[in-house]
Structure formats: C-alpha cells, structure tokens
Amino acid sequence: GAVVSQHPSRVICKSGTSVKIECRSLDFQATTMFWYRQFPKQSLMLMATSNEGSKATYEQGVEKDKFLINHASLTLSTLTVTSAHPEDSSFYICSARAGGPDTQYFGPGTRLTVL
Amino acid sequence: AQSVAQPEDQVNVAEGNPLTVKCTYSVSGNPYLFWYVQYPNRGLQFLLKYITGDNLVKGSYGFEAEFNKSQTSFHLKKPSALVSDSALYFCAVRDMTTDSWGKLQFGAGTQVVVTP
C-alpha cells in the first residue's frame, strides 16, 4: 500500500526557534497533502490543504505566517512552525491524497515539544 | 457544512464479545464516510470507507460498518473483539458535493478498551 513518511518523528526545541517538519509520499505522487494537529486525546484538526505548486489554503483560525507550508514537489510537503512557543506543542500529522479525493494516506505523525 | 459526532468517549468490551463504535454525520450533500484507527503516538490507519453501493462495508482486520441514510449513521462493528483492537477510533466524513480536494472532518474519537 501507499506509504507516507514524516520527519522527524519527534522534536524538542526552545521557545522562539523554528522547526521544519517534512511529509513525503514514498511510492506515489500526491498533488494534495493535508496538515493536521492533534492535542492529547483529542481529534485531528485540519490546519491547511497543500497543493503542489500553489499556495496552501489555511483553515479558519490558523495563522499562515506562523505555520508555513511549502509543497514544492509531488512527493514532498513541509510545515515550518516559526517562532515556536510552548502552546504550539502538539502532534502534527500529514496526509497525502493518492488518486481520487476519497483516498488519503496518513503519515506516522511528529511530536513537537516546545520548551 | 459537514460534521461528525461520536457520542461515546470510550467503549469497554470483553475479548470475544461484539464491538460497536457509534458515528453519526451531517452533510449538506452526499457523504463519503470513513473509519480510521490510531495507536498511541502513531498516525491514522485506514479501516474502511463508504462511497456508494452496498450499505454494509467490510474493511480491514475484520471490521465492518453499516451506512444508514435515514438515521445518518455509520457505526463500526466487529463480531468478536481482540485485545489488540484497543485503540482510538475516528469516524470521518467528506462532503463530496461541496469539496473537491478531499477534506475530511473527523469526529472526536472513541477510545476502545478490550479486556482479556
């Protein structure tokens, strides 16, 4: 089956620094990728939709200048958390759309801890 | 607008007993419905989906779900639960009429605990 990877799986950073998270589709091309964040024991909240070669579309309430998304190729999307603060600590999950819009494959997630 | 409700935060079941995880949905158009499972500190794994056709959908690991349009429900079921089924289960919906990108709306999740 289709595989989506995320790197790193876990990152700890100091407040004020920026962190980049990569999402890769390993064996398929993904024209659309999605970024979610998940707080402990809560549901996934869609942050943005990322389409290859165009600007990401952010959900209401998500700061585009804080959560920079780049979808430079059909197999790679990156999420950069700029000037991270402790409240940005969360589990970030990406998914990639393969083929039709009803098929998404999820990455294993990245645990971000901001001290 | 689309939404999904999972009314139970947690479901407890003994191993070997039937397992049901409830989900109801609301969409303005026609729904695509999904079930995913999440193990601790892991991403989501796809279990099954309803797009069209038979109301009873069979998926991975012995799970199945029944689409009920009149009750706007899509409950997940397994005839005989295993301890290894203990995980967090998410129901999700996509409004195929209004969304072309594949955006999913997730329910709050239901923690399933299967005891030996």
Among candidates A102, A103, A107 on the partner chain, residue whose Cβ is nearest the Cβ of B43: A107
User: What confidence tens digit (pLDDT) does each residue in A51-95 have?
Assistant: 888 889 999 999 999 999 998 888 999 999 999 999 999 999 999
Q: Which of B17-26, B32-41, B69-78, B88-97 shows the lowest per-residue confidence on average (mean pLDDT)?
A: B88-97
User: Mutating which of B32, B42, B50, B99 best tests the A interface, going by the most A Cβ atoms within 10 A?
Assistant: B42
State whether residue A80 sits within 8 Å of chain B by CB: no
Among candidates A103, A104, A108 on the partner chain, residue whose Cβ is nearest the Cβ of B42: A108
Residue B97 has a pLDDT of 64
Q: Which of A39-43, A83-87, B37-41, B65-69 shows the lowest per-residue confidence on average (mean pLDDT)?
A: A39-43
> Cα torsion at B19, B88, A103, A54 (round to 10°)?
160
CA atoms within 13 A on the CB side of B10: 5
User: What confidence tens digit (pLDDT) does each residue in B52-106 have?
Assistant: 888 999 999 999 999 999 999 999 999 999 999 999 999 999 876 666 677 888 9
Nearest to B72 by CA among B29, B8, B14: B29
State whether residue A99 sits within 8 Å of chain B by CB: no
pLDDT at A30 over 90: no
Is residue B92 classed as helix, strand or coil in its secondary structure?
strand
Q: Per residue in A29-65, is it b (16+ CB within 10 Å) or e — as a string?
A: ebbbbbbbbbeeeebbbbbbbbbbeeebebeeebeee
